[in-house]
Amino acid sequence: MKISQLILISALSAASFLSAQFKQTPLPYAYNALEGAIDAQTMEIHYTKHAAGYVANLNKAIAGTPLEKESLTTILSHISKESPTVRNNAGGHYNHELFWTVLTPEKNTQASEKLAKAITESFGSLDALKEKMSKAGADRFGSGWAWLVVTADKKLAVTSTPNQDNPLMDIAEVKGTPILGIDVWEHAYYLKYQNRRADYLTAFWNVTNWKEVSRRYEMATKGKFDDWQALKTFHEVMSQTFHPSEEGNLQPVKTRIGELVSKAKALQSAPIPAEYNKPAVKNSLADLVKASQNLEKQIKKKASDTEITKALADVHDTFHTVVGLCSAEDKH
């Protein structure tokens, strides 16, 4: 599998949580792994109480609402329309899931060449970036976060948000894809540092996972199909209906088949970005509409679950043919 496909799959699957409840990812190291910078008790309480609380409250708040079907990033993108409970807990869940990954017990991880170059171009040096982020964290009054983000024009920017807000929210002053976040809530440092937030911020840089920040930078800047929204929209509905079917749940596809067909048609009629505009891609998009319509026919005539599952698998395979054709011609 090509790197570009892997990136697409990770980018798309990150945006396609199913209607199932949101979950915490297991911590990738022991609670005491960051001792020296962040103590074990802080890590344990932070992960098992604070972060666990956000996800539990998020799941409770969205249960039985249309938000259950949405990805976390989609919810964040229209957070201005949601309740404070959803805003605080969706933000809290996203932010902490990111936070654990940008910490590591591994010493002296390095930014990739590409990220290092972008940091130098944007801030002058890595030290200047650290200083700017530490200042953003120190200046944040009360609770909040300091962020390094990739903006819509693929530039790096440092920003900070209050409470559990983040730069993916439609209400954020500076919007972008976070690639590094520092939790400056007291719960993140108080047991060890008490009021000395600046000392915690200094220590943070001893356990920063630059490999992970680099990986997130690659994803945020390389985002394949970024210019092909219709493809991403179709994929979102397909994955939210296909993945439950893999577990024997055909209800989502039965409920949303009309939407799936209309997204397939929209994808076929939307302009194809020049880099993917090939006859084979066009033909496969036509096949995708046909496969979706066939699936709709099966559902409407109340075909057996086996037949519906087969027709849905056909839609899924056809979609991946489209993606494969685009990736095969990719020169990167």
Which residues of the chain form contacts with Mn ion (CB under 5 A)? 183, 185, 188
Smallest gap from Cβ 323 to Mn ion, in A, equals 36
User: CA 127 to CA 305: how far, in whole Å?
Assistant: 59
Smallest gap from Cβ 91 to Mn ion, in A, equals 11
Work out the burial of residue 25: count CB atoms within 10 Å of its CB; fewer than 13 is exposed, 13-18 middle, 19 or more buried.
Answer: exposed
In order of 18, 193, 279, 323, 326, the CA distances from 282 in angstroms are: 29, 59, 5, 12, 11
Query: Which is nearer to Mn ion, 104 or 268 (by Cβ)?
Result: 104
Smallest gap from Cβ 157 to Mn ion, in A, equals 22
Smallest gap from Cβ 154 to Mn ion, in A, equals 28
Smallest gap from Cβ 279 to Mn ion, in A, equals 51
Residue nearest to Mn ion (CB): 183
Query: Which pair of structure tokens corresponds to residue 220?
Result: 């945020």
User: CA 264 to CA 315: how far, in whole Å?
Assistant: 10
Query: Which is nearer to Mn ion, 185 or 210 (by Cβ)?
Result: 185
Query: Which is nearer to Mn ion, 187 or 222 (by Cβ)?
Result: 187
Ramachandran quadrant class, 62 (left: phi over 0; alpha: psi -120 to 50; beta: rest): alpha
Query: Which is nearer to Mn ion, 181 or 252 (by Cβ)?
Result: 181
Query: Which is nearer to Mn ion, 56 or 281 (by Cβ)?
Result: 56
